[in-house]
Amino acid sequence: MELHSTRLLGSSLSLSELTAQARTSDRTFVISAYFDTKFLIEIVKSALSKQGATVDLLFHASAGRQLDEHVRLLKEVQRSVTRRKARLRIALVFGMPLFHSKVFAFRRGSAWTVFLGSANATTAALGALTEPARNEEIPDLLT
């Protein structure tokens, strides 16, 4: 297993790096407190471009209006990959305190590449394919 901090060789992990990992993986996991649809659509489309690949998304859920908004946004992600949605699983976690650690995990056969850190699954944290992240993380202890 390759284990990385979300800081790579002194520069932030990017959406480009994650989509490259997803394109060659059999299984992709994204676990984060927060997300945005632009970011998720890029990861999911990249992952599901590989024949037989599956994607699991796990996010913290809030009640009330915020929950309605989360469901609406995740349905948008699901619609972006309509023909492949059977291989896309999305879960919202209720009743637990907001979790801090974020995980981006990619499996190829029996080998895993895992990125751990505090960057959420958002373009603000990790950038877009054509633009850098807008906020810098404090370097993690795990390097």
| DSSP characters over 51-78 | TT-EEEEEEE--STHHHHHHHHHHHHHH
State which residues form the domain around 80: 2-120
In a domain, 19, yes or no: yes
**pTM (2 decimals)?**
0.81
> What is the torsional sign of CA 82, 91, 60, 65?
positive
pLDDT string in tens for the chain (143-residue length): 777 665 554 456 788 889 999 999 999 999 988 888 999 999 999 999 998 899 999 988 876 778 888 889 999 998 888 766 568 999 888 766 656 678 899 999 999 998 887 778 888 777 776 655 544 443 333 33
In a domain, 131, yes or no: no
In a domain, 45, yes or no: yes
Side-chain half-sphere CA neighbours of 136 within 13 A:
5
Query: How many domains in the chain?
Result: 1
Local structure of 13: helix, strand or coil: coil
Q: Are 116 and 3 in contact (CB under 8 A)?
A: yes
> What is the torsional sign of CA 86, 39, 23, 12?
negative
